[in-house]
């Protein structure tokens, strides 16, 4: 089976090949791919199959499993992770930070936030701009993580296509961004005083992250849907251990935590407090 994308004929892995990669991805990242993702997997990996001159997906799988090809394995895993995001996604969460957060962290001296699965950084910067505008937080810091090193570098750079930033309020755009010129015409960049307040780092949620310490607020949005129920529960339990008592957890609006973690109480859609 093959599909054509932009005149490039892309072979789709057969079911046996797909199972090899599905098991590998679940082992390495904890992410489960449904059978419906077989074409997507082909779209993401076909160029690497060709670049490594592998004769098939099975051959490419054998190639990346060799110890000396660990860099190629890392690249393959990065290619199959989903990184769709945008500024102020699920706007009600940021309205909550502005209007309701003082009820939980009144006169807080140093609010510690973790943006888990931050992708290219839009979520972390949206949090940062919101907190910077707030007058009830004396100081704050944000740690932002993802399993994909390429998107993390984009996040650190803080450079975005202007046409993809329509959700940024005009006041925030004027205060927190620089307009690109010359070669960067059509782009905007987050100003350095905001960028330096965010620590971007690689983190696999399927692995241990207990060394990160405790957080007041954790954003874990639109990532749990990629995990099987037992892995999802296990990640959530470890995530709650990283929250201070009374800390807040933000999840995606399409994700339900009902019955998964007893110590979390839902206070409004997709926002939970640690009891």
The dihedral built from the CA positions of residue 104, 108, 112 and 113, taken in this order, carries a sign that is positive
CB 171 within 8 A of CB 177: no
Q: Which of 38, 48, 103, 146 is flagged as catalytic? A: 146
The span from the CA of 74 to the CA of 192, in Å, is: 30
14: left (phi over 0), alpha (psi -120 to 50) or beta: beta
Q: What is the helix, strand, coil percentage profile of the chain, to 5?
A: 45, 20, 35
For 103, phi then psi, to 5°, come to -65, -20
CB 231 within 8 A of CB 206: yes
The span from the CA of 31 to the CA of 146, in Å, is: 13
Residue 221 designated active-site: no
Q: How many CB atoms lie within 10 A of CB 111?
A: 20
Lookup: tokens for 31: 């992410």
Residue 44 designated active-site: yes
CA distances from 270 to 4, 98, 153, 264, 265 (A): 39, 16, 28, 11, 10
Q: Which of 22, 38, 44, 195 is flagged as catalytic? A: 44
Q: What positions carry a catalytic annotation?
A: 44, 146
């Amino acid at each position: 089976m093959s599909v054509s994308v932009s005149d490039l004929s892309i072979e789709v892995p057969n079911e046996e090949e797909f199972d090899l990669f599905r098991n590998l991805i679940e082992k390495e990242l904890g992410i489960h791919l449904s059978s419906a993702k077989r074409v997507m997997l082909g779209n993401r990996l076909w160029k690497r199959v060709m670049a490594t001159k592998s004769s098939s997906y099975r051959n490419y799988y054998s190639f990346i499993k060799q110890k000396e090809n660990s860099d190629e394995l890392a690249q393959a895993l990065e290619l199959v992770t989903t990184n769709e995001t945008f500024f102020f996604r699920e706007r009600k969460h940021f309205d909550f930070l502005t209007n309701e957060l003082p009820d939980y962290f009144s006169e807080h001296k140093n609010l510690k936030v973790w943006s888990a699965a931050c992708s290219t950084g839009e979520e972390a910067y949206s949090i940062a701009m919101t907190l910077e505008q707030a007058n009830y937080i004396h100081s704050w810091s944000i740690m932002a993580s993802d399993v994909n090193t390429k998107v993390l570098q984009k996040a650190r750079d803080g450079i975005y296509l202007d046409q993809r930033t329509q959700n940024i309020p005009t006041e925030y755009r004027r205060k927190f961004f620089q307009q690109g010129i010359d070669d960067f015409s059509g782009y905007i960049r987050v100003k350095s005083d905001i960028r330096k307040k965010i620590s971007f780092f690689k983190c696999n949620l399927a692995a241990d992250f207990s060394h990160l310490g405790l957080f007041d607020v954790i954003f874990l949005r639109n990532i749990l849907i990629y995990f099987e129920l037992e892995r999802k529960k296990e990640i959530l339990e470890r995530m709650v251990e990283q929250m201070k008592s009374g800390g807040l957890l933000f999840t995606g609006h399409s994700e339900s935590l009902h019955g998964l973690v007893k110590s979390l109480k839902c206070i409004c859609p997709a926002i939970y407090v640690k009891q």
